[in-house]
Amino acid sequence: MHLKALKLHGFKSFADNTTLSFQPGVTAIVGPNGCGKSNIADAIRWVLGEQSAKALRGGKMQDVIFEGADTRKPAQFSEVALLLTDCEKQLGSEFHEIEIMRRVSRDGQGEYYFNGQPCRLKDIHKLFMDTGVGRTSYSIMAQGQIDQILSSKPEERRVVFEEAAGITKYKSQRREAMNKLALTEQNLARVSDVINEVARQIGSLKRQAAKAMRFKRLSFRLRHLALAHGHHQWLGLSTTLAGLEGCVAGLRGDAEARRSALDERTRALDEQKAARMALTQRVQDSQQAVFDLRSQKEQAENQSGLAQVKRTGLIERLDAGKDDMAELEMQLRELASQVDTGSQDKQMQLSLLGSSDAVFQDRNRELAVLEGELTRAEQQLSQEKFALLQVESTVARLRTDSSGLEVDARTSQNKYDQLSQDLAQLRSAVEGAASALAEASQKVQEARIEQSRSNNEAQAAQTALQEATHQFREAQRRLQEIDRGLAQKTARLKLLQQLQEKWEGFGEGAKALLQGRFTAVLGEQKFIPITQGLEVRPQYAKAVEALLGASVEAIAVSDLATAQKILGQLEADQVGSVCLQVSGLTAAAAAADGLPSFLSPATAMVANLDAAHPAASVLSACYLTDDLNGFLDFWRANPAFSFLMVATAKGDLVDRRGLIYGGHHKKPANSIVQREVDLRETGKAVVAEQAAHDEQRALIDRLNAVLAEAEATLEQKRKDVLAASQHAAALHTEEKNAQRSLDDASTRLQRMENELTNLKRDHDEALARLAKAQAQLAEVHAAVEAQKLKITGVETAISEKRADRDQKRESLAQARLELAERRQKVEVLDRGLTEMERRRVQLADLHDQRQIEIETWGEQIAALEQEGAGQRARAEEIAVTLAVAQENVENSRRELSAVEQEINRVESGLSTIRTEAEAAMTELSRNEVKAAETKARVQFLTEEINHEFQTDIALLDWKKLLWHADDEPEGMKDLDLDEEETEEGGPKTEDPAAAEAKPKRRKKKENKGDPTEADLAALETANWAEIKAEVDALRQRIGTMGAVNLVAIEEYSELKQRYEFLKTQSDDLTNAKAALLKAIDDINQTSLEQFKVTFEQIRKNFAYTFNILFGGGRAEIDLVTAEDPLESGIEIVAQPPGTKLKGITLLSGGQKTLTAVALLFALYMVKPSPFCLLDELDAPLDESNIHRFTNLLKQFVKESQFIIITHNKSTVAAADALYGVTMQERGVSKTVSMRFNAERGEAEALPTTIADSVRGAAPQAPA
Please give the Cα distance from 85 to 101 (Å, whole number). 15
Please give the Cα distance from 918 to 690 (Å, whole number). 102
Strand bridging mode 1201-1205 / 1217-1225: unpaired
119 annotated among ligand-binding-site residues: no
Q: Do 552 and 661 meet the contact criterion of CB atoms below 8 Å apart?
A: no
Rg (CA), the chain: 64
- The order of strands in the sheet holding 140-142 is 140-142, 1171-1175, 1201-1205, 26-30, 1217-1225, 1228-1237, 1242-1245
Q: Do 848 and 328 meet the contact criterion of CB atoms below 8 Å apart?
A: no
Task: State the Cα angle at 792 between 786 and 794, rounded to 5°.
Answer: 110
Coil, strand or helix at 950: coil
Coil, strand or helix at 1040: helix
How many residues would you count in the chain? 1263
User: 49 φ, ψ to 5°?
Assistant: 115, 15
Q: 1185, exposed or middle or buried, with CB in 10 Å at 0-12, 13-18, 19+?
A: buried
Task: State the Cα angle at 611 between 609 and 617, rounded to 5°.
Answer: 90
In this structure, the number of other CB atoms found within 10 A of the CB of residue 952 comes to 10
Task: State the Cα angle at 399 between 398 and 400, rounded to 5°.
Answer: 90
* H or E element that contains 100: strand 97-105
For 1047-1076, give the DSSP string: THHHHHHHHHHHHHHHHHHHHHHHHHHHHH
36 annotated among ligand-binding-site residues: yes
37 annotated among ligand-binding-site residues: yes
35 annotated among ligand-binding-site residues: yes
Please give the Cα distance from 800 to 267 (Å, whole number). 136
* H or E element that contains 397: helix 168-501
* H or E element that contains 87: none
Q: Which stretches of 1121-1225 are DSSP H helices?
A: 1149-1166, 1183-1194, 1209-1213
Please give the Cα distance from 946 to 1 (Å, whole number). 85
Type of residue at 632: L
Coil, strand or helix at 1256: coil
User: 98 φ, ψ to 5°?
Assistant: -130, 150
Type of residue at 370: L
Please give the Cα distance from 678 to 492 (Å, whole number). 9
Q: Do 167 and 161 meet the contact criterion of CB atoms below 8 Å apart?
A: no
1136 annotated among ligand-binding-site residues: no
1194 annotated among ligand-binding-site residues: no
38 annotated among ligand-binding-site residues: yes
596 annotated among ligand-binding-site residues: no
Coil, strand or helix at 1103: helix
Strand partners, 1022: none
Coil, strand or helix at 151: helix
User: 1223 φ, ψ to 5°?
Assistant: -125, 80
No. of helices (H) and no. of strands (E), the chain? 23, 22
Please give the Cα distance from 962 to 1020 (Å, whole number). 11
Give the residue ranges of the annotated binding site for ATP.
32-39
Pick out the residues of the known binding site: 32-39
